[in-house]
Amino acid sequence: MQVGWPRRPLTKVQTALANSFLTSGLYLHHPSHDSQKSDQLIGLARATSDHVFNATIWDVLVDPAYQGQGLGKALVEQMVRTLLQRDITNITLFADANVVEFYQQLGFQAEPEGIRGMFWYPNL
């Protein structure tokens, strides 16, 4: 799926998905004449969590051919709904500058109450 994601090794992506607390996918179903179903992944989101208090939504992706139809919004809203149903109420995410407004329209706040994200990167 081409969505501006950095190039990542497939084995690491598989491990990240397997170790996620919650994943959600959007599939386009293509009926087949020979009883074989053909489903195309067109959207994905995942969350990590401590399973009690906190969760972080990661990697909200929608295939560019299907963007602008509310699918990203539906993915995020479903993730939030599911996390709230599990009584996880501290929900965070990281957003590139060009999509901050998108997440703000879904109720996320940039730096609420002066809280700042902190990052540690190895010196390469």
Active site residues: 103
- For tokens 């972080």, name the residue: 56
Cα separation, 61 vs 44, whole angstroms: 5
| Ramachandran bin of 111, using left for φ above 0, alpha for ψ from -120 to 50, beta for the remaining angles | left
Which residue type occupies 86? R
Neighbours of 56 (CB within 10 A): 15
